[in-house]
Chains A and B, each alone.
Chain A
Amino acid sequence: MNVERAVSLLAAWLPHQRWFAGKNEPIGAVRTVAATSLREADPEVWHLLVEVVQGDRREIYQVPVSFRDVPDGRLDHVLVGEAEGRYAYDALHDKDATAELLHRFDAQDRVDGLSFHTEPGAELPLGEPSLVLTAEQSNTSLAYGDAALLKVFRRVVPGVNPDIEVHDALTRGGSEYVAPLLGWLEGRWVSPSGERQEAGLAMLQAFLVTATDGWALATTSVRDLYAEADLHADEVGGDFAGESQRLGLATAEVHSAMAEVLPTRVFGPVDLRALAGRMRARLEAAVVTVPELTPYAPSLAGSFDRLAGLGRPVPAQRIHGDYHLGQVVRTVVGWKLVDFEGEPAKPLIERVALDSPIRDVAAMLRSFDYAARHLLVVDHPGSDQIAYRAAEWADRNRAAFCEGYAKATGHDPRDDDVLLRAYETDKVVYEAVYEARNRPGWLAIPLAGAESLATGTGL
């Protein structure tokens, strides 16, 4: 079997991969965009970029493949296919192939259109076996021992990769709140339509040993509170406010670092009116999809009117863009922020657009609300007592987060109430649409948020 034969097998294999975005449409064709040989000895390793055509849609995917003459039972679950007595596997699961990738980083190799880069002074865990982590949805990440993590971006969008760009900038700036970048893989190719294109393809960073994500920690605290009938949020053992405060501080430090090393600008009255206009348009569209929002809509729109008329300049900078408790991890040396790709569903240009850091703050405040209420909708529907506790938990931790943020910047985000409320409202509107489409059972969470924003009982 050769590369072309392997590519021909992908049409049947791709729809079964978790990271493949086009599952609900038949594949018209899979074409090779670039193929680079990384290893000739068995297993032979090829780095492939392929274009998947589905109707009008054309997407580029990254699919490294290894070929073996003898089938390897441990790789059965990632067999792409068999032909002419050779077996093709997803190379990211093949330890011989992943060791080759690490060696290429170490040598800072350039081969065909691929360039492997390393940060100055980075130490690579050569010789450590890799293991693919199971949690991920849209990419494939593998850990080399407990020293390094290689995140391979499966769906390739031409242009600067924000995750690599931000990690690179923050690592060079010495930020202690992200996992340091060790290296990255860049690719250049000519598209089937004849265009020269390039993109960041993979990112190698320090592995955060013993880390747990913020969502798991926060919901542990919430469960603890729900188990107490008569104690308040500040009285139970599992109180999370200390962690929330430290998280606020870490967030502010990362924002400051990003403002220092990446571009900034200022939103003037025109920008703010345009921003408010986009928010209002999203609300109007949302009311159509989620009629339950209708009673709150006039009041919610009021937040956007106040934003449009704010009458003072607002600093804008690169932000996280898809910030929530699942994007922060607690390690033994404090909180770290991960995943600076921005919201995956948005086009690249919007993901790297400058915005107020208050958008991230608002998104995290919404995430606290989710953490407080999600068990309510799942396990305790209709319990007023627990709903009251949930509100208490959310209020306490949202306030602690803002206090921590203020501790680092000297500026409490709650003082920017017009901005904060507009961004939070925009987020609630987005959540309502998302839940109505994907998890109707959870719609109650953003609706409760919309109600409290509309009636002014929030922060």
Chain B
Amino acid sequence: MTQEPALPAAGTDPEWFKRAVFYEVLVRSFKDSDGDGVGDLRGLTEKLDYLQWLGVDCLWLPPFYPSPLRDGGYDVSDHKDVLPELGTLEDFSRFVRVAHERGMRVIVDFVMNHTSDQHAWFQSSRADPDGPFGDFYVWADDDTGYPDARIIFVDTETSNWTFDPVRRQYFWHRFFSHQPDLNYDNPAVGEAMTDALRFWLDLGIDGFRLDAVPYLYEEEGTNCENLPQTHAFLKQVRKMIEDEYPDTVLLCEANQWPADVVEYFGDFAAGGDECHMAFHFPVMPRIFMAVRRESRYPISEIMAQTPVLPSSCQWGIFLRNHDELTLEMVTDDERDYMWTEYAKDPRMKANIGIRRRLAPLLENDTNQTELFTALLLSLPGSPVLYYGDEIGMGDNIWLGDRDGVRTPMQWTPDRNAGFSAADPGRVTLPVVMDAVYGYQVTNVEAQSTNTSSLLHWTRRMIEVRKQNPAFGLGDFTDLGGSNPSVLSYVRAFGDDVVLCVNNLSRFPQPVELDLRRHEGSEPVELVGGVHFPLIGELPYLLTLAPHGFYWFRLVRAQREAVA
């Protein structure tokens, strides 16, 4: 028996990421294979069958590098190895191979902007200013430089400069004071990072999520974000991977307004020559706001402000991820509003965001969870699911920093939720145990056997999405309509035309849609295949249940053959 290769031959599918459903998985919290209480690469490899069943196309792994773990692993102390408690380089290679055999790709987080202060480069730089790494970081004799750069972690840091008692100079850091920024003005830094990228690409991965890219370079008199030098460096990286590693994707994390983020895609006329993908940050808080306000305008507005992308590029969109629900991309009024609405306990706030998982943010309301997921799967961009949200996992707001949303995956009702065989006291983070979201009720095993579960529903919707290329590749037209609580849009790719109608209100709603452009088409509901009445010239009337939604394919009616 010959088997089809699970993935297309290398170099034949450069735009796979436009159609893909991504899944962010924290290695340390997904599955522990050796009973030490910490999830690991072997454990993740064991669970690839589950992820394939769910319909995931690409896994995104946040940092698994050696690290003192003072910032969830984003404080990398060695860019070319695996943190020992998560596994070995051999485990990583095997994980990538097994994922590829199941038709799934792998992208990994890569921290370009800074390192841990424990990194050998920094230790050498502070000890030997004239040595080979002396100029790898941004040093200064005082803390007055770059005064226009804002402080990002406002609740822990007071300055972007910290005094180092060893070198007796100040070093520059845009994030925590234990994460010194690399000095990209030194060409050796760019070369060292490119070398590290090649190292992982040679192990077979399919791309990188580039962390915090807007901050690579500094320049006096600017806010030190999105500088032209930063874009030039990213273009070099893009050229390298294009020449040497086809079908590889660069996904940049630039928490900026879409009009600024679009710079990271590079030259429009060339189809994009910088990053292939970027996260669309503002769309997420606005989905929450629109539903709470029962008004489509928070979403419609941000979609109207979203620029057209170069032809080879795609947005990445998400509802929740390992970070807090970021509120940098809303106005001050809106942020106050989001805080009062969604972070009723002050412990739910982190920096200028909210640290909660999807289900508790929505008070475990099934209809809302389904509506949010339907929006995630149908708005323009490739959706990124966050591990555990497919079963409606909860969070633990009593854990520090952002650990509250990084608790172990809940597999079964057994000890440690089936995550680990360790003594419960040794598990990396405590398993959620409350009465609503606890692992005894909320777990993969229980939801796998129940076909009406959120897990099965999510799997079904992913499958429907894949049957209609318009979701991944189509353009987007907001339809407006008579009812401000109903968000309706058409996604169209060639003759695949999909109409999505979403009731953002908790009450039943009617809506009249202007579908004149599709006069004569027949809406066919995508989940059940039910045929709706033909579209005529007059407004098309639909009624929706509270937080209900429809996905239709608009099928051109066949003209009857003339006898």
Residues of chain A having any CB pair with chain B under 8 Å: 129, 131, 134, 145-146, 209-212, 216-217, 220-221, 223-224, 227, 235, 237-239, 242, 330, 332-333
Contacts and interface: CB of A to CB of B under 8 A. Distances in A.
A220 B484 contact: yes
A237 B292 contact: yes
B478 A220 contact: no
Contacts of B516: 129, 131, 145
Given A129-B516, A146-B514, A217-B484, A332 B479 contact: no
Given A220-B295, A239-B293, A131 B484 contact: no
B294 A330 contact: no
Contacts of B301: 332-333
Nearest to B479: A210
Contacts of B517: 145
Interface of B: 291-295, 297, 300-301, 303-304, 333-334, 337, 340-341, 478-485, 505-507, 514, 516-517, 537, 539
17 contacts: A145-B517, A209-B480, A210-B478, A210-B479, A212-B483, A212-B484, A216-B483, A217-B484, A220-B505, A221-B294, A224-B294, A235-B340, A237-B292, A237-B341, A238-B295, A330-B297, A332-B297
B480 A212 contact: yes
Contacts of B505: 220, 224
Shortest beta-carbon contacts, A-B, top 9: A210-B480, A332-B304, A237-B292, A212-B484, A332-B300, A217-B484, A332-B301, A238-B294, A210-B478
Contacts of B478: 209-210, 332
A212 to B, nearest CB: 4
Contacts of B537: 131
A210 B482 CA distance: 8
Given A223-B507, A237-B341, A216 B297 contact: no
Contacts of B483: 212, 216
Contacts, number: 61
Contacts of B293: 237-239
A212 B506 CA distance: 19
Contacts of A129: 516
Contacts of A224: 294, 505
Contacts of B507: 223, 227
Nearest to B514: A146
Contacts of B300: 210, 332
Given A131-B537, A146-B514, A220-B485, 10 more contacts: A131-B516, A209-B480, A212-B484, A216-B484, A217-B484, A237-B293, A239-B337, A242-B333, A242-B334, A333-B301
A238 B298 CA distance: 12
Contacts of A330: 297, 484
A223 B484 CA distance: 13
Given A131-B516, A237-B293, A242-B333, A332 B303 contact: yes
B304 A333 contact: yes
A223 B303 CA distance: 27
Contacts of A220: 294-295, 484-485, 505
Contacts of B333: 242
Contact of B294 (A146, A209, A237): A237
Nearest to A74: B537
B391 to A, nearest CB: 26
A131 B512 CA distance: 15
A211 B480 contact: yes
A396 to B, nearest CB: 14
Nearest to A128: B516
B482 A216 contact: yes
Nearest to B292: A237
Contacts of A217: 295, 484
B482 to A, nearest CB: 7
Contacts of A239: 293, 337
Contacts of A333: 301, 304
Nearest to A208: B480
Contacts of A212: 480-484
Nearest to A223: B507
A295 B2 CA distance: 94
B50 to A, nearest CB: 36
A424 to B, nearest CB: 27
Contacts of A235: 340
A69 to B, nearest CB: 23
A285 B506 CA distance: 46
A385 to B, nearest CB: 19
A271 B192 CA distance: 80
A209 to B, nearest CB: 6
A224 B333 CA distance: 20
A396 B483 CA distance: 23
B473 to A, nearest CB: 23
Contacts of B482: 212, 216
A330 B298 CA distance: 11
Contacts of A210: 300, 478-481
B483 to A, nearest CB: 7
A207 B389 CA distance: 41
A272 B164 CA distance: 73
A147 to B, nearest CB: 12
A317 B274 CA distance: 54
A129 B520 CA distance: 15
A149 to B, nearest CB: 12
Most buried by A among B293, B301, B482, B507: B293
B108 to A, nearest CB: 37
B11 to A, nearest CB: 40
Contacts of A223: 507
A333 B505 CA distance: 22
Most buried by B among A131, A217, A221, A333: A217
B158 to A, nearest CB: 32
A134 B297 CA distance: 24
Contacts of A209: 478, 480
A131 B517 CA distance: 12
Contacts of A134: 539
Nearest to A218: B484
B510 to A, nearest CB: 12
A209 B506 CA distance: 25
Contacts of A131: 516, 537
Most buried by B among A134, A145, A239, A242: A242
Nearest to A95: B537
A400 to B, nearest CB: 11
Contacts of A145: 516-517
B563 to A, nearest CB: 22
Nearest to A235: B340
Nearest to B519: A129
A90 to B, nearest CB: 16
A317 B328 CA distance: 42
Most buried by B among A217, A224, A330, A332: A332
B127 to A, nearest CB: 54
A94 to B, nearest CB: 13
Contacts of B337: 239, 242
A34 B292 CA distance: 56
Most buried by A among B291, B294, B301, B479: B294
Nearest to A224: B294
A129 B483 CA distance: 24
A367 to B, nearest CB: 16
Contacts of A216: 482-484
A419 B483 CA distance: 36
Contacts of B485: 220
Contacts of B295: 217, 220, 238
B188 to A, nearest CB: 48
Nearest to A214: B484
A214 to B, nearest CB: 10
A104 to B, nearest CB: 23
A228 B334 CA distance: 22
A49 B132 CA distance: 90
